[in-house]
A and B are shown apart, each in its own frame.
Chain A
Amino acid sequence: MSTPVNRRIFGGALLAATGALAVQRMRSAGQVPDRRKPRSRVAILNETSYSGPLDRALAEGVELFGLDLSGKTVLLKPNLVESIPGAEVNTNPRLVGAAATAFLALGAKSVVVAEGPGHQRDTQLVLEETGLARELRERGIRFVDLNRDEIGEQRLATRFTGLDCLWLPQTVLAADFVVSMPKVKTHHWAGVTLSMKNLFGVVPGIAYGWPKNVLHWKGIDRSILDINAAVPAHFVIADGIVGMEGNGPLHGIPRNLGRIVLADDPVAADFTCARLMGLNPLRVSHLAQAAEFLGNGAPERIIQLGEQPPLSVEPFAVLPEFAYLHT
């Protein structure tokens, strides 16, 4: 007997599968570039608290990748939405600060933290209320509001949204090394919000509004693919120490995951995070499609550095519409 839940499970799974097939065909026809490397590297760090030795843990974690950052400009893109007391909405400021220090220690010419919140127009208020302003002041790290940065036209390598180009902040376009620093959360429109969805925040509010409604109408999954093809993150540091389950990205429940995920491929990072969340990444439409051309999702193409993934996990709760992510 067909129930609403079964229909949703079937519909969601079908959507992700047909999307991935369509991208396969587009890749074969040369309509999307194949950016996948032979192997991607992921490291899962065990950290149960933000008050622990994050600087040391992150420095050691990043060290595993042997990155050559000497003379390079590094841009850290955390997930800053707004401050809601008691809710784990934003990438933790201490983790952002620790990442900045780690990349400077690796010889980066400069490290800047940059974000363009999607709904809250007062970026400074978000910085102050989340504690990130203080963290960056103490470490002497500059912040750039991507919603109001100088913007330039970027031709799109892919056309999932049907747009020819995106107008993007020069600070992002000029950075040598972009690091996506998501908060590991469920998302009521996209299923999950991880390193790829996090790059929605590079789209400038002065051009697209608050929220970035043009892209919502073009389709969130399609927009995520175009943005990530235009501005590929070179590295990921995902804040899964405390994530969010249920009605994310704002009103879900905090979930102690106790992990930081590092990766040199955003697709591999998001597949790993989804697996740690107990969700099937191939059921997440934008992840299934991204794994066909942007990065690696298959476990055999992901090299695990450091800790191995746990053998079993308690799945993150999701809204009923996303029950298919558990299958």
Chain B
Amino acid sequence: MNDSVGETERQRLARWSLSEELVRRQLPRTGGWSHNSAQFSTEPTAWALLALRSSTWASIAKEQGLAALMSRRRSGGLWPAVEDWKGANFWTTAIAVNALMILDADPKTLASSVDALVHSRPLEASWLVRLKFRYSDRQVRFDPTKYGWPWVPDTVSWVVPTSIVLITLERARRRGLAGGGEFDNRLRRGTEMLLDRACVGSGWNAGNAFVYGVPLRPHIDATAIALAALRPHYEQPIVRNSLTWLLDCIQCPSAYSLSWLILAVSTYQELRSDVTPALVTARDRLAALVDDPRGIQDTSTIALAALALGVGPTDNPFEVNG
């Protein structure tokens, strides 16, 4: 892991203590993980499994965690956000499928989930909703014919879930789990949606570049995940500018955003010479920010930080170009 950017002792120790904390937080009843309680949650479970896969505790975590994750999938192939929640969630479904592919789950078990992602449609796919955006709801500025994925069914597309679904489906394509005309069209529309929703000049936020004529600011985590999804489109000026913007954010005071930044920027190491030195600085800073993992409330942050400190060019869960 992390073989292109030399891992410092501080980073190694930080990664070890993050992994140890993840093991401590594994839920005894379900074998999965929660954000911050005893309630099984899909997102932290998937991140924790990925973070622990090359650690001392890999087999223990995988043995229980994988089964916990698989058992929470609903009949339609989608995962909920948390154990008791009755609805489905595209963000957590994509994270779960991506993790399970990396963890070499049986491809046949994932086919229905990939299919559910490909065939799902946000509200903008309906002509009635497009009319609403064209004639009534005109204070937000985007093209509703370019759509991606929503967080939950019966809502419109947003940048973060769209980005993770694109990453997941691209991995599914590379593994021969999906393909064909409809699949390609769905990916194309999702990519167009991300490009359409970019903030002025650079970066992404939740998905509104303008409201009431005012340009809104980008967010680090949304920009990072969008960039990871758009890695094959580096020729686009917005992608290049956004990478530059993100590299300027390495002094951010939050481990969550910094972890996303590192994971996304790592996928561009071969393309830009300024990425590697920035990663060295960012990882040092992250190691300092996660000095006391027990003080970090959200388990996803712990897992993402462990991933960000350890990830190398060949095992990045957000790498879609490999």
Residues of chain A whose beta carbon lies under 8 Å from any beta carbon of chain B: 82, 84, 119-122, 124-125, 128-129, 143-145, 148-153, 167, 170, 188, 206-211, 213-214, 216-217, 247, 250-251, 319
Contact = CB atoms under 8 A, between A and B. Distances in A.
Given A208-B152, A209-B155, A251-B211, 13 more contacts: A119-B205, A119-B219, A121-B221, A124-B255, A145-B36, A150-B34, A150-B35, A152-B84, A206-B82, A209-B91, A211-B206, A213-B155, A250-B211
A217 B257 contact: no
B191 interface: no
The interface residues of chain B, by DSSP majority, are classed as: loop
Contacts of B211: 188, 250-251
Contacts of A129: 253
Contacts of B89: 207
Nearest to B161: A209
B144 interface: no
B150 interface: yes
B55 interface: no
A122 B254 contact: yes
B311 interface: no
Interface stretch (B16-24, B37-45, B176-184, B271-279): B37-45
A151 B85 contact: yes
Interface of B: 34-39, 41, 43, 81-82, 84-85, 87, 89, 91, 123, 139, 150-152, 154-156, 158, 160-161, 205-206, 211-212, 214, 216-217, 219-222, 252-257, 297-298, 300-301
Which of B36, B151, B211 has its CB near the most chain A CB atoms (within 10 A)?
B151
B27 to A, nearest CB: 12
Given A208-B151, A210-B151, A210-B158, A128 B254 contact: yes
Contacts of B221: 121-122
Contacts of A124: 254-256, 298, 301
Contacts of B154: 214, 217
Contacts of A151: 39, 82, 84-85
Nearest to B298: A148
Contacts of A211: 158, 206
20 contacts: A121-B256, A125-B252, A125-B253, A125-B254, A145-B297, A149-B37, A150-B39, A206-B43, A206-B82, A207-B82, A209-B158, A210-B158, A213-B151, A213-B152, A214-B152, A214-B155, A216-B155, A217-B155, A250-B214, A251-B211
